[in-house]
Amino acid sequence: MQDRFQRHINYLRISLTDRCNLRCAYCMPPEGIQWLPHNEILTIEEILAVVKAGVEVGIRKVRLTGGEPLVRRGIVDLIKRLNDIPEIDDIALTTNGMLLGAMASDLKSAGLKRVNVSLDTLNPIRFQRITRYGNLEIVMCSIDTALEYGLEPVKINTVAMRGFNDDELVDLARLTLEKPLHVRFIELMPIGTSDDWSHIRFISSQEIRELISKSLGNLEDVKKVTGSGPARYYRISGALGTIGFISAVSNHFCATCNRMRLTASGQLRPCLFSGREVDLKQVLRSGAGHDELVCIFKEAIMSKPNSHDLTASWEKDDRIMSQIGG
Ligand SMILES: Nc1nc2c(ncn2[C@@H]2O[C@H](COP(=O)(O)OP(=O)(O)OP(=O)(O)O)[C@@H](O)[C@H]2O)c(=O)[nH]1
Ligand SMILES: C[S@@+](CC[C@H](N)C(=O)[O-])C[C@H]1O[C@@H](n2cnc3c(N)ncnc32)[C@H](O)[C@@H]1O
Ligand code: SF4
Ligand code: SF4
């Protein structure tokens, strides 16, 4: 359905858990956060009830995220059951890649269509520094496994950070020359937990683009890479994959926003950067039926804000990506 600003809303991002097996420095403190108790997380049945209500108001694409969605028990079963909903035509996953290699076969058989894998550096020491518990080799193998199983398009999410990976952005872009990968550079957003990883490290998409085209030549426009997100895509001449830019800060894409979010604790959230949420968990647990859920979903879509300007609210926020469902 359309919201008040004539945007077509068809995409639901579902956070399966606030937990994670890594602690990326820009996302979480080293000790982690206060995890939600299990009974405060939506069950698989409850998630499915929300998706079925979403389908009635036009949801056709779902993305499973978190926290780290692959640490959530029952994810394979959930994907199978999402795949059984005829109206859902795209089931995607955003993951840090640590468990993806081992699970790729089951995920594919269950009906997962494609994956986006986070990868901020190609240097093993830096990788461990930024993720604190991650292992670069495992993640690189997972990316190859995802390609082998046809979980395509395989997209790589790279947060660009000055003084951390700005000297590697060209090498990351080069990954697209030999493999059909879609490497997306994401602008660092001011919602992490540490001042060391805040606006002082911000690099704009335009600066990254200039850096890459200086080294690798002109970037050709690419019209479409399968997906529902806000990235703009380009190709290095002759490359198998593409390069994308997610300019959440310098050039927000709210005018074409197509999404709603469901947090792990069951809040339906119309906008990543607006605290307004509807408590669906309470509604579900007080015995609401399908029609009531559909009504609430509709109202939440109609309450989506026009936009959110991150440059105007650069101050640190209490909420972090893994809690909202990044
Ligand atoms: N400002 C803003 N940023 C978003 C939003 N959704 C995703 N992002 C950013 O884009 C990054 C990549 O998102 P992904 O989870 O890989 O998914 P996507 O780009 O929406 O998905 P596809 O294009 O369908 O593959 C996220 O980590 C966020 O940094 C949004 O609604 N608003
Ligand atoms: C919150 S994670 C959840 C899914 C999974 N754990 C992963 O890392 O892919 C989703 C994406 O958000 C990005 N992210 C987290 N904090 C961010 C920030 N402050 N600015 C920009 N992107 C951020 C991560 O790099 C990752 O690509
Ligand atoms: S970015 Fe993803 S992998 Fe890294 S700490 Fe946040 S939720 Fe975990
Ligand atoms: S900031 Fe809000 S309105 Fe803008 S693209 Fe993200 S979710 Fe949509």
Cα–ligand 3 centroid distance for 179 (angstroms): 25
Q: At the top level of CATH, which class does the domain 11-324 belong to? A: alpha beta
Per the omega criterion (within 30 degrees of 0), is the bond before 270 cis?
Answer: no
State which of 36, 100, 321, 323 you would mutate to test the pocket of ligand 3, scoring each by most atoms of that ligand within 8 A of its C-beta: 321
- Bridge-based pairing of strands 242-246 and 61-65 is unpaired
| Residue 214 CA, distance from chain mean position | 29
In order along its 326 residues, the chain shows pLDDT tens digits of 999 999 999 999 999 999 999 999 999 988 888 999 999 999 999 999 999 999 999 999 999 999 999 999 999 999 999 999 999 999 999 999 999 999 999 999 999 999 999 999 999 999 999 999 999 999 999 999 999 999 999 999 999 999 999 999 999 999 999 999 999 999 998 876 667 787 889 999 999 999 999 999 999 999 888 888 899 999 999 999 999 999 988 988 899 999 999 999 999 999 988 889 999 999 999 999 999 999 999 999 999 999 876 666 544 456 677 777 77
Q: Which residues pair with 64 in a beta bridge?
A: 14, 93
Res 320: pLDDT: 74
Q: Are 321 and 26 in contact (CB under 8 A)?
A: no
- Phi-psi bin for 123: left (phi > 0), alpha (psi -120 to 50), beta? beta
Taking alpha carbons only, the member of 42, 152, 160, 38 closest to residue 93 is 152
Cα–ligand 4 centroid distance for 49 (angstroms): 24
Res 193: pLDDT: 61
Tell whether the torsion through CA atoms of 284, 39, 84 and 228 is positive or negative: positive
- Phi-psi bin for 199: left (phi > 0), alpha (psi -120 to 50), beta? alpha
pTM (two decimals): 0.96
20 in contact with ligand 3, CB cutoff 6 A: yes
HSE-CB of 5 using CA atoms within 13 angstroms: 13
HSE-CB of 306 using CA atoms within 13 angstroms: 1
Nearest atom in ligand 4 to 306's CA: 3
Residues 6+ apart with CB under 8 A from 324: 15, 261, 263, 269, 272
Cα 34–37–39 angle (5° rounding)? 160
Res 314: pLDDT: 45
Res 286: pLDDT: 97
Cα–ligand 1 centroid distance for 102 (angstroms): 25
Nearest atom in ligand 4 to 261's CA: 7
Cα–ligand 2 centroid distance for 325 (angstroms): 9
